Amino acid sequence: MMPDHPSSYENYKIKQNIERLEHKKSFNGATCLVTLYMPHGTSIPDVTQQLVDERGTAANIKSKQTGKAVIAALSSILNRLKQIKELPKNGLVIFCGMTQSGKVEYYPITPTEPITRKMYICDSRFHTEHLREQLEEKEQFGLMVLDRETASYALLRGNHLTFLRNLSSFVPGKHGKGGQSQRRIQRGTEILAQEHLKRAGEVANELFLNVPDLKGIVIGGPSLAKDNFVKGNFLDYRLQSKVIGTIDTGYTGEEGIRELMEKSTELLKDVRYLEEKKLVQKFLQELGKDSGLVTYGQKQVMKAMDLGAVDTLLISEEMDVIQVKIVCSNCGHKMQENVKAKDFVAFEDELYKRACPECGVQKLTIAETKDFVEELGKKAQETGTNIEIISIDTEEGMILFKSFGGLVAILRYPIRDM
Ligand SMILES: [Zn+2]
């Protein structure tokens, strides 16, 4: 069964594709790159008609070169549309046009969430904003700023902040006249301060417990109150375990929340690292117990995949290599190179500037790419296997890559004698 939410792998791959698309420009800087968003219910005959009309208009474009490129892009899309009977349940986004490679490139992307708006854009770049927004909306964090008498709450999705509430309690200042009454006042003040933290916790529970897929909570503030709040377990245990850390801020209220957002970038990145560490640790534990519930090495992992026995596949980011077939469009010279997926954008830029080793002309283009991890991903989808891409930024990630060849599997049931 397919999970409701896109896996970290799907997000990772779609993010990669978006980055690649964002680096593409039209071959001559003019508007000839087509972006087409089609929600699930879109009528293919209607879109076809619209594109045929657009193609007719393109014949009037002043620059012959640009007009031809627009016509080529639209024709390419029209040809593909003929083969589509029904759109995927989340709709389909098509990017097509003559890029800096000098070729008409075609990229269909199936979004991870349903798209709702139908759009046709012809520009000098591809429009990926809506896909990017979808991705960023996945990860939600709770932000909370508090001091002795106030507390403010917000949700953070991508770079988008939503303020939820400001709370203020009256706690008198610490200064008194001295003597016995001062001690009494101090004691009273402390009780009120504790009451405030308790209330701040209750409001946090009320606001954050219902947020689906809350990834973590960051707590800020200018004083010790935030540390006392975390230490004092004022949050529901389900939220308490999501506290990523505390950060000193100069302000409270909405200003404090904004400051906290800016200061927590590094902290939020650590959340994924923590997940990655846990996944590799799980593998290492099972391996240590000799439970038969893990396997590693390309051959063994593939065998387990074929049996449908893999629950989670851990792949090192360093293994995410794309095999690129390159051809020179001047002399026809062919070659092949392996490029790390994360370096692909830079590789493409460099390739167009590189001279062909055979004829010396700058006409090298990408004829075909083969993405090992993406192929694994397709196989995994058929068998309901989760894929997690693990960076080498943690010690555990390094162990996965160096000691286990960057590819291991956590199994659903033990497989012996392989
Ligand atoms: Zn050549």
Q: Which residues contact 17 (CB under 8 A, 6 or more apart)?
A: 107, 109
CA of 352 to the centre of ligand 1 (A): 12
State the distance from the centre of ligand 1 to the C-alpha of 370, rounded, in angstroms. Answer: 22
In the reported structure, the alpha carbon of residue 366 is separated from the centroid of ligand 1 by a whole-number distance in angstroms of 13
Distance 333 CA to ligand 1 centre (A): 5
Confidence class for position 316, pLDDT limits 50, 70, 90: very high
Structure confidence by residue, pLDDT tens digits, 281-291: 999 999 999 89
Domain with CATH 3.30.960.10 in the chain: 8-136
The pTM of the whole model exceeds 0.75: no
CA of 330 to the centre of ligand 1 (A): 5
CA–centroid distance, 353 to ligand 1, in Å, is 13
Q: What's the CA-to-centroid distance between 362 and ligand 1, angstroms?
A: 8
| CATH numeric code, 272-418 | 3.30.1330.30
User: For the chain, where do the domains classified as CATH 3.30.420.60 start and end?
Assistant: 139-263
pLDDT value at residue 349: 87
Mean pLDDT of 83-99: 94
User: How much distance in Å is there from the Cα of 334 to the middle of ligand 1?
Assistant: 8
Q: How far is the CA of 402 from the centre of ligand 1 (A)?
A: 38
Give the distance (Å) from ligand 1 centre to CA of residue 25: 23
β-bridge mates for residue 151, sequence order:
146, 167
Which CA distances in Å does 380 have to 2, 311, 314, 373, 407? 11, 9, 12, 10, 14
Q: How many whole angstroms separate alpha carbon 298 and alpha carbon 312? A: 15
* Ligand 1: centre distance to CA 11 (Å): 37
Residues of the chain above pLDDT 90, percent: 68
Question: Which residues of the chain does CATH 3.30.1330.30 include?
Answer: 272-418
Given a cut of 60, whether residue 4 has pLDDT beyond it is no
Distance from the alpha carbon of residue 325 to the mean position of ligand 1, in angstroms: 14
- Tell me how far the alpha carbon of residue 26 lies from the centroid of ligand 1, in angstroms: 23
- Residues 6 or more apart whose CB falls under 8 angstroms from that of 332 comprise none
Percent of the chain's residues with pLDDT above 70: 95
Contact 154, 70 (CB under 8 A): no
96 CA distance to ligand 1 centroid (A)?
Answer: 26
Tell me the fold of 139-263.
Nucleotidyltransferase; domain 5 (3.30.420)
pLDDT at 206: 96
Burial class (CB in 10 A: 0-12, 13-18, 19+), 144: buried
pLDDT of 8: 72
pLDDT of residue 178: 57
Ligand 1 is an ion; its neighbours by CB within 5 Å are: 328, 330-331, 333, 356, 358-359
For residue 163, the CA-to-ligand 1 centroid distance in Å is 58
How many whole angstroms from 376 Cα to the centroid of ligand 1?
33
State the distance from the centre of ligand 1 to the C-alpha of 32, rounded, in angstroms: 27
- Centroid of ligand 1 to alpha carbon of 320 (angstroms): 29
* Highest mean predicted confidence (pLDDT) among 22-26, 178-182, 186-190: 22-26
pLDDT, tens digit, for every residue of 226-280? 999 999 999 999 999 999 999 999 999 999 999 999 999 888 888 888 889 999 9
Cα 365 to ligand 1 centroid, rounded to whole Å:
10
Task: Characterize the bridge pairing of strands 310-316 and 386-390.
Answer: parallel
CATH 3.40.50.300 is the classification of domain 8-136: no
